[in-house]
Amino acid sequence: MPVDVSLPAITRPTAPPSPLLSFWRSFRENRGAVLGLAVVSIVILVAIFANFLAPHDPFEQYRGFTKLPPIWVDGGSWTYPLGTDALGRDMLSRLMYGSRISLFIGLSVMAVSMVVGVVLGLAAGWFGGVVDVIILRIMDLIMSIPSLVLAILIVAIIGPNLTNTIVAVTVVYLPRYVRLVRASALTELSKDYVTAAKVSGVGPWRLMFVTVLPNCLPPLIVQAALGVSDAILEAAALGFLGLGAQPPTPEWGSMLADSRDLITSHPWVMALPGIAILITVLAINLMGDGLRDALDPRLRKS
C-alpha cells in the first residue's frame, strides 16, 4: 500500500494536528472505499503468500485432468477448486500467482510514471518557456496516438515480455502524470508562500521538492491509485493480444487469451481470469474514489 506509506511524508504548512487520522476518518465514511480497501488488501496478501496459499504448483501440468470445471459445476472436484486449464494446470493456483504479476505491473507502472511524471511536470512548471513547450508537445504527441496502438508498437519494437509491458504502459500513461504535476505546480508557484520562500533565499531544488511538491501530492496520490488499475487493465489487454508476459507465466490477460479457443467448449477457463481482473481493478478504483474524496473534496469532479 504505497499510498498509506507515503502519507506521513506530507507536511502541510498549515497542517491539522494529525492529517492521517482526519484522512482515515473521512475515508472510513465511504463504505465502498472500505470494501475496496479490504479486497485490495486480500489480493495483496494472496499475492505475497501465493506460494503458501496455492494448493498446487501453478506450472504443474496434470495431464489426465485437463479442462476440469470449477467445483460448483458438475464434474468439478475439490482437488482443483476452480478447475484446470487446457494443459491441466490448477486454475486457482495460477490465478493466485497471477495476482503477483498484475500487482507488480500495476505498481511498477505507477511508481515509474510517478517519478518520471514528477520530474518532467516540475521541470515544465518551473522552467516554463521552451522546456515547458517541448515537454507538453511530447505529451500531446503521445496522447494523440490511440493508447493501445502505441503500446503495441512499443512492445513490437522492444519485444514482448514483462519488463517491456511495463515500459510500454508507462509511456502511454505518462502524460496524465506530467500534466497533473505541471498544473498543480503552476498553481502552487503562484501562491504567496512560494514567493516568500523565494525571497528568503531557498534554493530552487529545495523549493521544488520540499516546498512545492508536497502540496501537489493529494491529486497525484489519487491519480496514482487510479493509475494502478488502469495499468493492470492495459497490461492485461496487451497480454490478451499475446504481447505481454510470455509462457508459462500465469499473467491474467494471457491466460484469457490462451483459453479463447475454449470459449464455447469450456467457458470457465476463459471466464475466471477476466473475473479476477475485474474484481481487482474494481476494488482499486473503489479505493481510489474514497481516497480522492477523503484527500481533497475539490477533486470530486472527475
Partner 1 sequence: MFRFLLRRLALTVPTFLALMFVTFMMIRMVPGDPIEVRRGERGISPERLAELRHEMGLDQPIWKQFVDYVWGLAHGDFGVSIITKNPVLQEFLTLFPATVELSVCALLFAVIIGIPAGVIAASRRGGVYDQSLMGLALTGYSMPIFWWGLILILLVSNTLGWTPVSGRVDLIKYYYPSVTGFMLIDSLLSGEKGAFADAVRHLILPTIVLGTVPLAVIARMTRSSMLEVLEEDYVRTARAKGLAPYRVIGIHALRNALIPVVTVIGLSVGSLLAGAVLTETIFSWPGVGKWLIESIGRRDYPALQGGILLISSIVIVVNLLVDLTYGLINPRIRHAR
Partner 2 sequence: MKRTITLASALLVSTMLAAGAAGAKTLVYCSEGSPENFTPALNTTGTSLDAARPVFNQLVEFERGSTNVVPSLAEAYEVSPDGLTVTFKLRKGVKFHSGVNGFTPTRDFNADDVLWSFERQWKADHPYNKVSGGAFDYFNDMDMPNLLKSIEKVDDLTVKMTLNEPNAPILANLAMDFGTIESAEYAKFLLDKGKPEEFDQLPVGTGPYQFVAYQKDAVIRFKAFDAYWGGKAKIDNLVYAITPDATARYAKMKAGECHVMGYPNPADLEAMGKDEGLNLMHQAGLNIGYLALNVKKPPFDKKEVRQAINMAIDRDSILKEVYQGAGQKAKNLIPPTIWSYNDAVKDYEYNPDKAKELLKAAGVETLSSDLWWMPVQRPYNPNAKRMAEMMQADLAKVGITVELKSYEWGEYRKRLQAGEHQMGLLGWTGDNGDPDNFFFLIGCTGAREGGQNISKWCDQSFEDKLQQAKKLSEKADRAKLYEEMQVIAHEEAPNVTIAHSTVYEPVSKKVSDYKISPFGRHEFYGVDIAE
Binding site for partner 1 (CB under 8 A): 32, 137-138, 140-141, 143-149, 152-154, 156-157, 159, 186, 229, 233, 236-237, 240-241, 253, 256, 260, 263-264, 267, 270-271, 273-274, 277-278, 281-282, 285-286, 289, 300-302
Partner that binds at residue 60, options partner 2, partner 1, none, CB closer than 5 to 8 Å by kind: partner 2
Give the shortest CB-243-to-partner 2 separation in angstroms. 10
Give the shortest CB-270-to-partner 2 separation in angstroms. 10
Partner that binds at residue 39, options partner 2, partner 1, none, CB closer than 5 to 8 Å by kind: none
Of 47-86, binders to partner 2 (CB under 8 A) are 59-61, 63, 66, 86
**Chain centroid offset of residue 232 CA:** 6
For residue 58, give the 3-state DSSP assignment: coil
Of 238-267, binders to partner 2 (CB under 8 A) are 242, 246-248, 258, 260-266
Q: Considering beta carbons, is residue 182 or 266 the nearer one to partner 2?
A: 266
Burial group, residue 90, by CB count within 10 angstroms (0-12, 13-18, 19+): buried
Q: Which of 107, 135, 108 has the alpha carbon at shortest distance from 119? A: 135
Other CB atoms within a 10 A radius of the CB of residue 249 amount to 18
**Does residue 232 contact residue 106 with C-beta atoms inside 8 Å?**
yes
> According to the binding rule CB under 8 A, does residue 156 interact with partner 2?
yes
Distance CA 18, CA 29 (A): 18
Q: Considering beta carbons, is residue 26 or 61 the nearer one to partner 2?
A: 61
Q: Which of 78, 208, 41, 169 has the alpha carbon at shortest distance from 177? A: 169
- Interface with partner 2: number of residues (CB under 8 A): 22
What type of residue sits at position 209?
Answer: F
Integer-rounded Cα Rg, in Å, for the chain is 22
Partner that binds at residue 270, options partner 2, partner 1, none, CB closer than 5 to 8 Å by kind: partner 1
The residues, any chain, with a CB within 8 Å of residue 29's CB and separated by 6 or more, are none
Sign, CA dihedral 62-65-67-68, equals negative
Q: Considering beta carbons, is residue 57 or 296 the nearer one to partner 1?
A: 296
> According to the binding rule CB under 8 A, does residue 6 interact with partner 2?
no
Catalog residues that contact partner 2 under the rule CB under 8 A. Answer: 59-61, 63, 66, 86-88, 156, 160, 242, 246-248, 258, 260-266
